[in-house]
Amino acid sequence: MSWRQILGLDISAEGPFTHNSQNTQKAENRRYCADIADFARRDPEQDDSRLLEDLAEACKGLDLQPSEVKAALAPEDITDWLKGRVTTETLTALARSLVQRRDMDQGKRPDHYTERASCEHCGPVWLWTPGEVLGCPWCWNRVADKPIPRPCAVRCSDCRHFTRTAHPHIGHCSKGMPEPVCGLWDMDSRYCDRYLPSDPGLRGKREASNKVSK
């Protein structure tokens, strides 16, 4: 995931060629040539230390190193920064998002995710807003096989990681979650950060048909 996706930004869309008059184009061409000349004069080492200074400002108060933010920037992002198109506010927002994403990758709920929601693919999740969603920020955890903190108890019978034995209600967890010697009872409610809905598509169809029949 690029930082533009994290922040929902696309700075590249803010191109300078928004007007079409010939004069404007000439002026823009002159500016473009001046940009090239300016870039040719630049000292990469100086630029780098200036960028790290800006990033240090953005990381103030966060458990994050400027080099970690720099690693998240693509070469075109650095070019945008050199052109003054990336503000300190944007870098600060990026640094905060990176810390949040890192915490979420470790299965930690962000402080402002206080509402219980339901993701079509992840099941019950903590979000900043309640309700049902087709996808959520925890989907990144699901795809990367990382834990998802849950706002409520779940049942093994609804989980794709539940492998049934010959017994009608007993099975085992294919993710190796702790279980009694005899196995897991499918209808028991329990907290589980490795739970994933067994058939999210079917759940959606079921809900749709419920709405139709109402």
Q: Report, in Å, the least distance between residue 12 CB and Zn ion.
A: 28
Q: Which of 72, 82, 99, 139 binds Zn ion (CB under 5 A)?
A: 139
Q: Which of 86, 122, 159, 184 binds Zn ion (CB under 5 A)?
A: 122
Helix or strand run (H / E) with residue 124: strand 123-127
Three-state DSSP class for 137? coil
DSSP of 39-78: HHH--HHHHHHHHHHHHHHHTTTSS--HHHHHHHS-HHHH
Q: Report, in Å, the least distance between residue 124 CB and Zn ion.
A: 10
Q: Report, in Å, the least distance between residue 7 CB and Zn ion.
A: 19
Q: Report, in Å, the least distance between residue 121 CB and Zn ion.
A: 5
d(CA 187, CA 165): 14
Q: Report, in Å, the least distance between residue 131 CB and Zn ion.
A: 13
Label residues 18-53 b or e (16+ Cβ within 10 Å = b). eeeeeeeeeeeeeeeeeeeeeeeeeeeeeeeeebbe
Nearer to Zn ion, 107 or 164 (CB): 107
**Which region among 29-37, 61-69, 118-126, 168-176 touches Zn ion (by CB under 5 A)?**
118-126
**Count of residues of this chain found to bind Zn ion when the rule CB under 5 A is applied:** 6
Decide if 137 contacts 119 (C-beta within 8 A). no
Nearer to Zn ion, 139 or 177 (CB): 139
Q: What residue type is assigned to position 204 of the chain?
A: G
Q: Does 148 bind Zn ion (CB under 5 A)?
A: no
Q: Enter the tokens of residue 174.
A: 């294919």
Nearer to Zn ion, 16 or 135 (CB): 135
Chain contacts with Zn ion (rule: CB under 5 A): 119, 121-122, 136, 138-139
